[in-house]
Amino acid sequence: MKYKKLLFDLIDYLDAFESLHDGGSHEPEIKDFADFLSWRCGKKKKLEEEAVSVTRERAAGAKNIARGVSLLHRYSRFYIKKALTESPLQTEDEYTYLVSLMNGESMTKTELNNLNAMEKTSGAEVMRRLLKANLIEQRPDEEDRRSMRVSITPEGRKVLVNLFPNLRLCAETLVSALSDEQLTAFDHLLWLLCECHNEMFTGKHDAELTDLHAETCGLKQSAGGALSKRLYRR
């Protein structure tokens, strides 16, 4: 039957209409049912339009955030470049790799790359420059001789200590426009995103973009939990 689904829909609407008028003194007429259908269909259409509007607003918000994060990273590099002027470090990446080792614990090169969300080839180049400048050292991993562990040298620690005042100034400059409350909220949300994307980068590196999108959408269901900030030793 061509219009079977339409008939079922009408029956459902009729049941709802009957429930609405059940017990009333007024005997409903066909015009009343037509008005009810118009109201219900209009309500459904409005809900659908609102859902589309919310989706569009979220997409626009996501686009703005992505661009904002990209710009913020460039501004950060602009300030850090000034801080590194008198330092043997050439790039922001060299600084982040070095400070990741500041607590004295050695890491495998893979661990260091993952911590800094760096591809293997690019990370190897950063470590090569740090090794050449005698700011880090490497040795074979005792548990896996095919792997190398890297650690900071006394010279590397000295370079960082000398840099810290200017780098703190960079960080404060970057967020100086925020109030204390805004800074706390931004810090929380930023690290919530960083933890989410670190899971994608380290655990699902070869997945398709559509699969990564689906995975991150699933994570937002539990995003209200406590934030561990385990990614970066601060």
**For 150-162, how does the pLDDT look when each residue is reduced to its tens digit (9 = 90+)?**
999 999 999 999 9
In the three-class reduction of DSSP (H, G, I as helix; E, B as strand; rest coil), residue 28 is classed as coil
- How many angstroms separate the CA atoms of 66 and 228, rounded? 23
- At residue 138, φ and ψ (nearest 5 deg) are -130, 155
| 90 CB neighbour count, 10 Å cutoff | 14
With the C-alpha atoms ordered 62, 180, 173, 90, is the resulting torsion angle positive or negative?
Answer: negative
Q: How far apart are CA 225 and CA 106, in angstroms?
A: 30
Contact predicate 167/203, CB 8 Å: no
What local confidence, expressed as pLDDT, does residue 26 receive? 64
pLDDT classification of 121: cutoffs 50, 70, 90: very high
First-to-last alpha carbon distance for the chain, in angstroms, is: 68
Structure token pair of residue 183: 């800074």
Query: Per the structure block, which two tokens stand in for 151?
Result: 């650690």
25-40, pLDDT tens digit by residue?
Answer: 567 777 777 777 777 7
**CA nearest to 82, candidates 12, 163, 141, 22:** 163
CA 72 to mean position of chain CA atoms: 14
How high is the mean pLDDT of the chain?
82
Q: What is the pLDDT of residues 44-74, one digit of tens each?
A: 766 766 666 667 777 788 888 889 999 999 9
- pLDDT-derived band at 229, boundaries 50, 70, 90: very low
Q: How confident is the model at residue 166 (pLDDT cuts 50, 70, 90)?
A: very high
Alpha helices in 22-116 (DSSP H): 30-83, 92-100, 109-115
- pTM beyond 0.85: the answer is no
Confidence category of residue 118, pLDDT binned at 50, 70, 90: very high
Distance between CA atoms of 33 and 151, rounded to whole angstroms? 78
